[in-house]
Structure 1
Amino acid sequence: MSNQISLTNYSPDVGFNSELDEKFLYRVILNLLLIPKIIGKLWSKDAVITDKFGPVLWISTIVGRVLHVPIYVRLRGNPVYEETEHIKYAKQKNKYIMWLLHGVNYYLLTITLPLTEAYILPSEWTKEQLPENNYYIVPTPIRQTTSVSYSRKSSMNEKNIVCVTNFDFKKKVEPLLYFLEENIDFIEKQNLNVQILGDGYLLEETKSKFADNDNIEFLGFRNDVVDYYKTAGIFLHLSKLDAYPTVVLEAFFHQVPVITNAQCGMKEQVEHRKSGLLVNLNNPEIKAAITEIQTNGALREQIIENAFYQVTTENTIRNVCDEFNTVLSDI
């Protein structure tokens, strides 16, 4: 090999967004216009790594096959499942053009993903959700430029429980919704302030269920998430979908003790009672974990210290680049 490896950046983000009907068609057309550029990129390369989906991935894979150029795709989750959710939403809202295009994308993804040379994944759990293929594990980095010099003890409010989720996916919303519905009395009795950040088409429906409860706030999309980490006593992340959630790493970095379920990629991020508390969904132990973090100061400080050390050693951009270099050497 002549070591001609391309890390693709064919265009700005031209992925699919189920909310943008007009822009959606524009994005599809723009992707198709990229065909000559993609062929040019692949023509002189020995391998290509891409994190693009949709038409870019289909075209890259097909052209790569014709030119005998292996395609490695960096996946942060399961795009096939995500397309099924977009299809359901489009059908529910009678957006038939969207439904058709996402349907086409779904079938092309199921065909092209196994044709790539290998996946580059953030966690072992992700591999289990995808069509069988070769794979490498490279964890997700986070930017660690924000100052954490503020005093956690002076800014932290142990009654504040912060959650950050994506309301476009039921598997991310349902576990949190179930916890809130089943534990309203506990939340009110303990005078907890549950602050939920994030946006998506399920937000308003979920929000309406708690319209009369002052202890639960749905704050939508926020640019000032760091301010909520600063005052959080606990970061609660309940999900049946996340491959390797960045929000958990952010909580580690901002020194907020994490409680999360022992499923998905979180079980590869959190070591129980060392860097966080792992719980089972739909179980009273979630309440017990919240109480323990609030009352066991030694455990709380131990978790904060261990999690901060973990994220500042394993998830730095430098460390992840070193792991990516190992993948490149193998390619």
Structure 2
Amino acid sequence: MPYLKRFVNLITEEYDLYLTDEPFANGLLAFIISSIKNKPLTVTLRGWGDLTNAHNEYSNLKFFFLRLISNFVLSKADRIIVLSKATATELNKIYNLRRFYVIERPIDVKYYSGGKRSIKYSIPTILTVTNLRYKNKFRGVVEVIEVINKIKKKTGNDVVLLVAGGGKYLDELKEFAKKFDFVEVLGFRKDVPDVLASADIFVYVSYLDAFPSVILEAQAAGLPVICNNYGGLPESCGWAGIVVKDKKDLEQVLSKLLTNKKIQRKLRYKSYKKMKKYNAVAVEKYVRVWDETIKEYK
């Protein structure tokens, strides 16, 4: 919706609270409307990549102005919500986040738990789903492939790795994967629930993530989850999965999990148990903060 039309729509309607999920153009618009209407403003920050230029996608000049606008909007917000403690830590290196709350991102648990097995292998199937737009996520996939290759060489056991996700590093990944006969690069997939249902174990390694929802999606599908200890990954994984320290640790944990059905079942149950109440808890936190903000403003 064009900004003028959006402005007219917001100015003619009555709301108790204005919400925005970024402090750039939409954030500035939300601040202007909330000021005119004399209503509170809440900003939800989904990550730190854009706000810190971690992807190196902005020129110095563009980032200077984006940072200027963000600082202004965040300083005027009545409440700031971040998805993870890691997000708050990274953002506080540049911005002064005042009155922030850490609240997890809800997901459609029913949708991700309802997949049908569409890719069928008779051998253990490992899955990773990522956004290959970013080099630091591509790097994580390469690391997973290298670790599985080591496990195969040591044990001689058959295994397949499915890699789902699109982005500018997809072609580079396909070229790299040609060296390994156990890797199937699926590319971008719309049928994520079916892909999740096709796996036995979910592994996610990334070096740029605030709170990856793909880990929650895998847990919603009832998969055992392993992730690395970076950024918001441990917070997303929580008590239901396994967080590894490094490549050596990943090799040991994954090797054991591949051959131990009992541990797989235990982790599957943990995923199910966590996600059964996950959304209700997250939504309750959001509503509590919104209600508190509205009451305080009156």
Indicate the TM-score class for this superposition, using the shorter chain for normalisation. Answer: 0.7 to 0.9
CA contact 1:73–1:120 (8 Å) conserved in 2: yes
Query: Paired residue for 1:289, among 245, 253, 256?
Result: 253
Distance in 2, matches of 1:133 and 1:156, equals 51
One of 31, 36, 55 as aligned partner of 1:85: 55
Deviation of 1:222 after TM superposition, in Å, equals: 0.4
The answer (yes or no) to whether the contact 1:158–1:232 under 8 Å persists in 2 is no
List runs of 5+ in structure 2 lacking aligned partners. Answer: 294-298
5+ long unaligned stretches in structure 1: 1-10, 12-29, 92-98
Matches within 5 A, 1:33-48: 34-40=6-12, 47-48=17-18
Kindly report the root-mean-square deviation, in angstroms, between the aligned alpha carbons of the 2 structures.
Answer: 3.1
TM-score of the pair, normalised by structure 2? 0.81
Cα distance between partner residues in 2 of 1:308 and 1:159? 20
Give the structure 2 partner of residue 113 of structure 1. 74
The correspondence of residues 194-273 of structure 1 with structure 2, limited to 5 A, is: 194-271=161-238
Residues 272-306 of structure 1: per-residue CA shift (max 9 Å, x gap): 6xx2211013x211111111112222222111111
Residue 119 of structure 1 aligns to a residue whose secondary structure is strand
How far 1:63 sits from its partner (Å)? 5.0
Q: Aligned pair count?
A: 285
Name which structure has the greater RCO, CA cutoff 8 Å, separation 6+.
Answer: 2
Partner of 2:296: none
Superposition deviation, residue 255 in structure 1: 1.5
| Counterparts in 2 of 1:224 and 1:185: CA distance versus 1, 3 Å | same
**One-letter amino acid of the counterpart of residue 214, structure 1:** D
Using the size of structure 1 for normalisation, the TM-score is 0.74
Q: Residue deviations 1:39-97, cap 9 Å, x none?
A: 445xx655322225541112223554576543211222125357552626xx7xxxxxx
Change (3 A) 1:243 1:157: farther
Residue by residue, what CA displacement relative to the aligned partner does 1:189-236 show, whole Å, maximum 9, x if unpaired? 433211111111222223222234332222111011222222212100
Counterpart residue type for residue 196 of structure 2: Y
Q: CA 1:212 to 1:103, structure 2 compared with 1: closer, same or farther past 3 Å?
A: farther
Amino acid at match of 1:264: G
CA distance in 1, matches of 2:123, 2:51: 36
Does the 8 A contact of 2:23 with 2:69 survive in 1?
no
* 2:282 is equivalent to residue 320 of structure 1: yes
The alpha-carbon deviation at position 105 of structure 1 amounts to: 3.6
Contact 2:161 2:182 in 1 (8 A): yes
| Aligned partner letter, 1:78 | W
Aligned-pair distance for 1:269?
A: 3.5
Pair 66,201 (structure 1): closer, same or farther in 2 beyond 3 Å: same
